Chains A and B, each alone.
Chain A
Amino acid sequence: AQKITQTQPGMFVQEKEAVTLDCTYDTSDPSYGLFWYKQPSSGEMIFLIYQGSYDQQNATEGRYSLNFQKARKSANLVISASQLGDSAMYFCAMREGRGAQKLVFGQGTRLTINP
């Protein structure tokens, strides 16, 4: 079974609009972490935001926020006021348990921002 599911292969959004990228996860471990990474066309992996399973509040980092719904096992990334530079692949990833942080990645969503 897929541990991380990203159901949107591609999304197209107008510049300055907000966009939500979906991510659902599957785990029975009570301790886990959820990450979002951005991969621009240049190929590097850029860390965006992190949410721990015990965190009481949704994580925020500048224009990025994570809509964490624990009961639904979803961790959607919200980008406010999108910019042309936000066009990239976005990956959701999960780390289960503590110790070595073995990440499991989803298949990604390609976001395209139109001017």
Chain B
Amino acid sequence: NAGVTQTPKFRVLKTGQSMTLLCAQDMNHEYMYWYRQDPGMGLRLIHYSVGEGTTAKGEVPDGYNVSRLKKQNFLLGLESAAPSQTSVYFCASSSWLAGSMETQYFGPGTRLLVL
């Protein structure tokens, strides 16, 4: 099992450009999440999904859109990148099992630089 994978690993954008970050998981998890991590800070939730075709806003959703067309994939889009979106982006997934510890499994991260 690959677990949670993210594409790309690193990207440089100019202000105003758009891009899509791809997250894929092979653990058949129902829930998927996108976080951002700024220097010296913990992770903050951008958007999340509780199942195929459903998405919801997290703590810092402005400037981002997401889609979950397939259970195993969760896409994060930046329509018009801004320097404030320079960050490391983490995708995570988890499963709801009664009595489980409900751990989130994280991808390796995508480092994004917006000039």
Contact = CB atoms under 8 A, between A and B. Distances in A.
A45 B108 CA distance: 7
B74 interface: no
A40 B59 CA distance: 25
Contact of B109 (A44, A52, A108): A44
B104 A103 contact: yes
Interface in A81-100: 91, 93, 95, 99-100
Contacts of A101: 31, 33, 94, 102, 104
B42 A99 contact: no
Interface in A13-64: 33, 35, 37, 43-45, 47, 50, 52
Interface in A69-115: 91, 93, 95, 99-108
A106 B43 CA distance: 8
Contact of A91 (B43, B92, B101): B43
Given A45-B90, A100-B31, A101-B31, A107 B50 contact: no
A103 B103 contact: no
9 contacts: A45-B106, A47-B105, A50-B102, A91-B43, A100-B48, A101-B33, A103-B45, A107-B40, A108-B42
Interface of B: 31, 33, 40-45, 48, 50, 56, 58-59, 88, 90, 92, 94, 96, 101-106, 108-109
